[in-house]
Structure 1
Amino acid sequence: MSAEYTSFGLAPATRAGGLLAGGDVQVHRDFVDFVVDGRPLLFRLSDLDAVSPLASDVPPTLFTAQVRGLLLETEAPLPAGRYVLYGCPECEDLACGAVTAVIERDGEDYIWRNFAWQTDVHADLELNGYHGMGPFRFRGAEYRAALDALLNGPSTGARRRVLLIGARVALLARLAAALRTIGIGADIAQDTEGVPADELRAYGAVVFGRSVGAGERDAVRRAFTAAGVDVPYVDGLAPIVPLLVAQTEQALDRSAPGRRRLTALTAAGDRAEVVVTSSCRVRLTAHRIDRLSRTHVQDLFDAVLEPGRHLVPLDVGATKGRSFLVARTGGSVLVTAVGR
C-alpha cells in the first residue's frame, strides 16, 4: 500500500467534566491522544465527545494491553483487524459508538486506514466510513518509540485533585461533592498552615472562596511555592456550584495552547465572541443571579463551529443582571463574566 509518511506522536488530553443544565453530569477524563502530522487526531472529528483507550483512570493491566494492541503485539479486538481509537467517555461501550480503524504492518511501517464509526462488531465503511481520512503511514521506529514510552517512562498523569480554601463550609462542601461526582478529588481547608509539602504536591489547582482575604491567599501561594508546586489559583466568580466546577475544569487544563480547540471567550451585552482552532461542537450556557439571590441557568447555543472567530447572539433575558457564560467543547471549558 502506497502512502506518504506521516509523523506520529502522543500528547496528554482532557475530556472536561461538568454539571450541565438540567442536572446532567459529564465525567472528567484524562487520556493520551494521538498526534498525527503535528495535530491531535481527535481534532479531525468535529462533533465527537470521546476519549482514546489510553485513559489515565483505567487499570494498569488494561492500559498496557491497549498499548500492546496498538503495537500489534496482541490480536485485534474487532473483526478485520480493527482497533478502537476513540470511545464513549462515560462507559466505553461499543454500543454507544466508537471510532475504529484497521491497523497493520507493512515491513517496518505501521499503517492506519479505513477509519469508521461503528456501534457493533462489524463496520459499514460505505455508510459510516470517514471518507478522506487517511490512510496514514508511520515510520516504525517513531511509532514504537512513542508507544513504548507509555510503558517504560514515568507516570505523567495529571493531578486531578483540588484544594478548596475558604470559610463558607456549606458552599465548599457542595462544590467538593460536585467535583467528586465528575471524577475530580477535592479537599476543603481554611488554610495550608502545617500541611506537608508532599500533600500539597498532590493538588492540581487551588480554589479560593470569595470570603478569603488577600493575606490568606498570599499565605497559601507561599506554601505551594515553598513546596515547589506550580498550580493555578481560581477566584470563584459567584456562589453557583456548576459555575465553580467549570472554573475548576478550566484551571485544570494544562495543555499547550496549540493543542486546544477552544482558545478565547468574551461576552458583553447581547453577544459573545468565541475562538476555536478546529471544527468542533461548542455549547454556551448562561448562569445568573437575580435580585433575590436566586440562581438561573439556561443553554443558549449548541452548534458546530468552523475554525476562527465567531460572534454568537445571546438571549438578553438570560444574561441580564449579574451573569456569567460557560463555553464548552469535548476537551475544553472557558468561563467569563458577561459585561454590560
Structure 2
Amino acid sequence: MAAEYATFGLAPAMRAGGVLADGDFQVHRDFVDFIVDGRPLLFRLSDLDAVSPLASDVPPAIFTAQVRSLLLETGPPLPGGRYVIYGCPECEDLACGAVTAVILRDGEDFVWRDFAWQTGAQADLEFNGYHGIGPYRFPGAEYRTALAALLDGTAHTRRRVLLIGARVALLAKLAAALRTIGIGADITEDAAGVPADELRAYGAVAFGRAVVEETRTAARRAFADAGVHVTHVDGLAPIVPLLVAQIEHALDRGPAERRRLTRLTATGDGADVEVTSPCRVRLTTYRLDRLRRTHTHEVFDGVLGPGGHRIALDTGTVKGESYVVARTPGSVLATAVTREAPG
C-alpha cells in the first residue's frame, strides 16, 4: 500500500493514574502524543493503555535520545527498522507489549508503516499487524520542526499539587496516595506565605471542603501574584480515591477537544458518559453512609463506542451522598450523584 500524505503534530497527553476499587493503583504518566491528521494516533487503538516514548518523567538525556531516534539520527532500536510508538506505562519491558512501526526516510519525507503489536524481538505482521493503520507519509519539514521543538524543554509538565485543608490525617493519606502514583504533593493550611518560586512548581491546588472562602481567596491571590496559572480543585468528599480522580483531571494538560472522555453526569438510576473514540471505560461509585464510612462498587468495565452512553446504576450503590468516577486509559472524570426533582 502506498503511503498517503498526512499531517504530523504533537500534543500533551496523560495516562491517568489513580487508586482503584480493588486497592491497586495505576501510575500517572505525562507524555507527548502523536497527532496524525489532527487526531491523536493513540485514539485509533481502542483498548490500549500505553504511552509514547516521549514521556516527561524520563531523564532529559533519555528523552533527547528518543526524539533523535524518531528523527532517524540514530539507528532503530528493534530489528527490521522498527521503532516503539507506544509502550507499557508501568515499565519499559517489550515483553509487556508495544505498538511498533517501521520508520524510514523517503527523500525529504518520513514514512511510518507496518504497525504491529510486538512482544519480542520480531514482529509478526500477519497475526499482530494493525492493518487499518497507516502507512503515513509526513512532510519532512513539518515532521522535523515538531520533534525538534521538544528539545528546548517545552515538554516539561508541572506534576505537583498543593493540598490546603485542616484535616491533616485525610490530607496525609491523600498526599501518600498521590505520591504512590507518581504525583508530588505538599500540604499547607494557607498558601499566602509560600514563596513564589515554590508556587510555580505546582500544576493544581486542591481545597478541602472545610476551607473557608477567605483562605481560598488568599491562595488564589498568592498564585496570581506569583504569575502562575493553576487549576483549582474543590474536593467533593473526604474519599481519597475520589479526590485523586479530581486531581488527575485537574492536571490533564491535553487539549479538551482531544480528550477521549468528555462528559460525566449521574442521577440515582444511571450515569451518562460521553467518549470521542472507542475506548475502555470503567465506572466506580463511592457512597458515604450515615457513619461516614465509604462504600465502593465497580459498576461498569467495558469498551464503548464514540458518542453518549447511559449506564444503569443500582440504586443501592448510590443512595444518600454518592459519587461516580469514570476512567479511560487517558482521562478521568468525577461527579456527584444528583437527585432528580419529583414531578
TM-score by length of 2: 0.97
Residue in 2 that maps onto 1:161: 160
Once the two structures are TM-superposed, the CA of residue 128 in structure 1 deviates from its matched residue by: 0.8
Residue in 1 that maps onto 2:41: 41
Is 1:308 paired with 2:278? Answer: no
CA distance, structure 2, for counterparts of residue 164 and residue 2 of structure 1: 53
Once the two structures are TM-superposed, the CA of residue 215 in structure 1 deviates from its matched residue by: 1.1
Once the two structures are TM-superposed, the CA of residue 336 in structure 1 deviates from its matched residue by: 0.3
SS in 1 for 2:192: coil
CA distance, structure 2, for counterparts of residue 322 and residue 194 of structure 1: 35
Residue in 1 that maps onto 2:58: 58
CA distance, structure 1, for counterparts of residue 121 and residue 261 of structure 2: 34
Once the two structures are TM-superposed, the CA of residue 256 in structure 1 deviates from its matched residue by: 1.4
Residue in 2 that maps onto 1:194: 193
Is 1:317 paired with 2:306? Answer: no
Residue in 1 that maps onto 2:29: 29
Is 1:103 paired with 2:113? Answer: no
Q: Pairwise mapping of residues 207-226 of structure 1 onto structure 2 (< 5 A)?
A: 207-226=206-225
CA distance, structure 1, for counterparts of residue 222 and residue 192 of structure 2: 8
CA distance, structure 2, for counterparts of residue 245 and residue 66 of structure 1: 30
Once the two structures are TM-superposed, the CA of residue 71 in structure 1 deviates from its matched residue by: 1.0
Residue in 2 that maps onto 1:292: 291
Once the two structures are TM-superposed, the CA of residue 154 in structure 1 deviates from its matched residue by: 3.4
CA distance, structure 2, for counterparts of residue 14 and residue 218 of structure 1: 29
Residue in 1 that maps onto 2:182: 183
Deviations 1:56-107 (A, max 9, x none): 1111111111111111111111111110000000012111110000111111
Residue in 1 that maps onto 2:9: 9
CA distance, structure 2, for counterparts of residue 78 and residue 225 of structure 1: 48
Q: Is the 8 A contact 2:199 2:223 kept in 1?
A: yes
Once the two structures are TM-superposed, the CA of residue 291 in structure 1 deviates from its matched residue by: 1.6
CA distance, structure 2, for counterparts of residue 61 and residue 230 of structure 1: 28
CA distance, structure 2, for counterparts of residue 194 and residue 320 of structure 1: 41
Unaligned runs of 5+ in 2: none
Residue in 1 that maps onto 2:246: 247
Once the two structures are TM-superposed, the CA of residue 3 in structure 1 deviates from its matched residue by: 2.4
CA distance, structure 1, for counterparts of residue 145 and residue 232 of structure 2: 36
CA distance, structure 2, for counterparts of residue 162 and residue 131 of structure 1: 42
Q: Is the 8 A contact 2:56 2:155 kept in 1?
A: no
Q: Is the 8 A contact 2:15 2:51 kept in 1?
A: yes
Please provide the CA RMSD for this pair: 1.0
SS in 1 for 2:77: coil
Q: Is the 8 A contact 2:12 2:253 kept in 1?
A: no
CA distance, structure 1, for counterparts of residue 314 and residue 219 of structure 2: 39
Aligned residue pairs total: 339
CA distance, structure 2, for counterparts of residue 304 and residue 285 of structure 1: 15
CA distance, structure 2, for counterparts of residue 155 and residue 109 of structure 1: 25
Residue in 1 that maps onto 2:113: 113
Deviations 1:20-56 (A, max 9, x none): 0111110000001000011110010000000000001
Is 1:76 paired with 2:76? Answer: yes
Once the two structures are TM-superposed, the CA of residue 254 in structure 1 deviates from its matched residue by: 2.6
CA distance, structure 2, for counterparts of residue 37 and residue 5 of structure 1: 9
CA distance, structure 2, for counterparts of residue 195 and residue 325 of structure 1: 34
CA distance, structure 1, for counterparts of residue 99 and residue 92 of structure 2: 11
SS in 2 for 1:216: helix
Q: Which moved more, 1:35-44 or 1:223-232?
A: 223-232
Is 1:205 paired with 2:168? Answer: no
Residue in 1 that maps onto 2:91: 91
Once the two structures are TM-superposed, the CA of residue 294 in structure 1 deviates from its matched residue by: 1.0
CA distance, structure 1, for counterparts of residue 87 and residue 21 of structure 2: 24
CA distance, structure 1, for counterparts of residue 132 and residue 254 of structure 2: 28
SS in 1 for 2:287: strand
Q: Pairwise mapping of residues 245-284 of structure 1 onto structure 2 (< 5 A)?
A: 245-284=244-283
CA distance, structure 2, for counterparts of residue 50 and residue 30 of structure 1: 11
Deviations 1:212-256 (A, max 9, x none): 111111111111111112111111111111111001101111321
SS in 2 for 1:193: helix
* Partner AA of 1:257 in structure 2: A
Deviations 1:182-232 (A, max 9, x none): 000000001012211111111111111122111111111111111112111
SS in 2 for 1:63: helix
Identical columns (%)? 74
TM-score by length of 1: 0.98
* Partner AA of 1:189 in structure 2: T
